[in-house]
Chain A
């Protein structure tokens, strides 16, 4: 059955159900390595601090991840297509500020949410159109959108926090279902659906072809422009969704929210197996990357390392992860010898 397919395969190298073969590939996959590292760090922190693996601590960490995790799906898609989206942090803020402002103005909750999400879709669509129609590269386009979305958030709110929102709105971000915070359930749902679709949906699979070799994808009858347009729209939508949920959790719309988030998410995706060259990466890998970095940061806090060191640790982890990958690839190439000329 489909559900027996191991969760750690990547579309590029889908493992076979033959157990030994599958296990070998599993161990080679980036996700598996990350899971092992995450478990090791968790156990180590538990032994050292004695209070890492507690429900409140894990709950707090997961809540901290939740909104970022939602954006992982969009960023994985963007990276797999051979681009990236630098505007997610700002669109996150813009989505939040939009929904907060709408609620503040007394609009009904569903309509306000729709406005917040719509703003994200529009931002993503503009990114996509600029990249596919005007042929401006993703770096410049999304860097521009990063400024535009942030600026718009600040302009709408005149730089202040939007508070005084209706209580009923907070059920999404603060409520619990079966003792599990709703926010975590939503994020987990999006991650799992996203991961499944990136692996199995014939529509989203085209993203890997586009990122793998754009010209070959075009000649194979894949509508490269439409795929890219879809990718950036998806990313914008998910960033706004994360922003909308964040307002529900923190009860205010903050135009400065999500600053620097884009780089954190790109880093997590790359640690999780994405490549800036495109063509590979999984959503679940990105989540593991996020958890991995989060665990390290949380551990540093528990170990009472000053908070300033967190960014440094993140930087080192990113370079080590990518460095290790490059190194192992070159080693593989060399061991294959000078066959190709």
Chain B
């Protein structure tokens, strides 16, 4: 039984002096789910979060928590816990006092408050530092205090605004795991804002990719990554190849023609015959192979460059005049060695490709 609430946004809009920051955001999130608002700066993700928290008044639209509108409820009565990027710990209070602050504001009885504080300080692993002041803690420790403080009062929603942005990579990865673990364990509903696609993919149940004040794509991390709904999302998350093509006739085994004149099979799409589109393919779904390989789609290419990544190598392959693709190949020490200038085939499975209209 998740303790978090459900969240619904209905056509949420925010205009500042006539210019729109958020232009109609709608979504429904089940209790206990981890939603990430992912987007570049200026995409409206932070403004959306601020409206949910009650710090920014929406120009139009509704915010529903457990089906009840909180659009006109002041911030301090919304019962949401927020984690700020700058931590926003109260410098004149110890770790215990910081974590206890929301309980004090709610008039929770002393003995119960003590118990809750102890539980959550322990949950984030700071028992030994409970009497310290924020300035005496490292960045990661401060972030844990902020986390405990945002969860200690069993809020309906936990809001996080780029909470790991100021930490170094190793610590960030560790905190991602911990936050995810606590969220699952307590069944919290989390709204997480970030511009880091890796963070969004590893932590979320649902990702909302935002662009220009709108949700441009909404779905599970796997859907968003493997079957992007448009070019912006495909481009924003991970490495992508876009191969221009002209679509063939509708039908069971639909095909399209590349610039180079080769014909390849494509997944079903509604787009009309003869229209131009791009085939979207992730670099790790492309294979370098020989002409006799059983892969259904193969086009010849020439290796024009290699980037060594440690666990894998990224090859640039020119498959037509002005068309290069990136192919990721794991460094397992087997198979043929590949060097620049090699003439090879680039192949893929039809189901790994997505047709995106231009």
Question: Do these two chains really belong together in a complex?
Answer: no
Residues of B that sit less than 8 Å from A by CB: none
